[in-house]
Amino acid sequence: QCQLSGLWRNEQDSLMEISAVRDNGDFQGKYLTQVTLAGGCARASPLKGIQQQPSDGGWPTFAFTVRWDKFSNATTAFAGQCFVDSGGKETLTTMWLLREAVGSLQEDWKATR
């Protein structure tokens, strides 16, 4: 079984720490990105999410959001799934959408990556 709680590192050396996952699937934690929009120094930012445990014993899916704290006017939503290989190594695969604040409705087209 795949456990989301713990410390995770991605290919960009960003770190994510997830606290214990509650019985209802809720979890929270911190995300320290090494990639910033402004190019400045990032700080640990809060994340909140939910895990959906499959009923047939398969690999769980999950989603979480990160509010980039104090260095960016953006929010990112992640969705993914957790896998365990035959050697017991856990891997998270995710897709993300980042939303930046823009100054007008006319600029809305460029606000999501």
The DSSP secondary structure of 39-95, one letter per residue, reads SS----EEEEEEEE--TTS-PPEEEEEEE-TTT-SEEEEEEEEEEE-TT--EEEEEE
- What is the reported pLDDT for 7? 94
> Do the Cβ atoms of 50 and 61 come closer than 8 Å?
no
The b-or-e profile of 45-75 (16+ CB within 10 A means b, else e) is bebebebeeeeeeeebebebbbebeeebebe
**Which option is the CATH number for 6-110: 2.30.30.140, 3.30.160.100, 2.40.128.30, 2.60.40.650?**
2.40.128.30
Question: Mind listing the pLDDT tens digit for each residue in 47-95?
Answer: 999 999 777 777 899 999 999 877 778 899 999 999 999 999 999 999 9
pTM: 0.85
Q: Domain segments of the chain: what residues?
A: 6-110
- What is the reported pLDDT for 55? 73
Interatomic CA distance for residues 33 and 12, integer angstroms: 8
Q: In the predicted model, what is the mean pLDDT of the chain?
A: 88
